[in-house]
A and B are shown apart, each in its own frame.
Chain A
Amino acid sequence: MEQKKNLTISGSGSAPGGSYEDVKINGSGKIHGDIICHSIAINGSGRLSGDAKATNIMISGSAVLEKNLISEAFTVNGACKVEGNVTGERIHISGRARILGAVHGEQIRISGILTVEGDLEGEDLIAEGPLTVGGLCSADRIEITLAGMISRIKEIGCGTLTVHRRFAPNFFGQLLPSFARKKLVVDSIEGDEIFLEDTEAKVVRGNRVTIGAGCTIGQVTYKTDYQKDDKAVVQSVIKG
Chain B
Amino acid sequence: MEEELIAKKDLLEMTGISYGQLYRWKRKQLIPEDWFIRKSTFTGQETFFPKEKMLKRVQMISELKDTLSLDELAERVSPQSVNKIVLSEQELISRNIVSQTTLRVYRAIDPSLKTFPFDDVLALFLLERLLKNGQITIEEAKELLNTLKTYSHKVYDKSSSLYFVRKMGVPMFLLVAQEVAVYFDDGVNVIEKIQLPSCIEALKATIGENNQTNS
Contacts and interface: CB of A to CB of B under 8 A. Distances in A.
Nearest to B24: A140
Contacts of A203: 43-44
Interface string B1-38: 00000001100000000111011101100000000000
A190 interface: yes
Contacts of B18: 159, 192, 207
B197 to A, nearest CB: 23
B20 A202 contact: no
A-side binding surface: helix, strand, loop or mixed? strand
A67 to B, nearest CB: 20
Interface string A91-103: 0000000000000
B19 A190 contact: yes
B163 to A, nearest CB: 35
Interface in A201-236: 202-203, 205-207, 218-219, 221
Interface residues of A, number: 24
A158 interface: yes
Nearest to B20: A159
B45 interface: yes
A191 interface: yes
B20 A205 contact: no
A188 B45 contact: yes
Contacts of A140: 20, 24
A117 interface: no
Given A192-B18, A207-B18, A202 B44 contact: yes
20 contacts: A123-B27, A138-B27, A139-B23, A140-B20, A157-B23, A158-B19, A158-B20, A159-B23, A159-B24, A188-B45, A190-B19, A191-B19, A191-B20, A192-B18, A202-B44, A203-B44, A205-B19, A207-B18, A219-B43, A219-B44
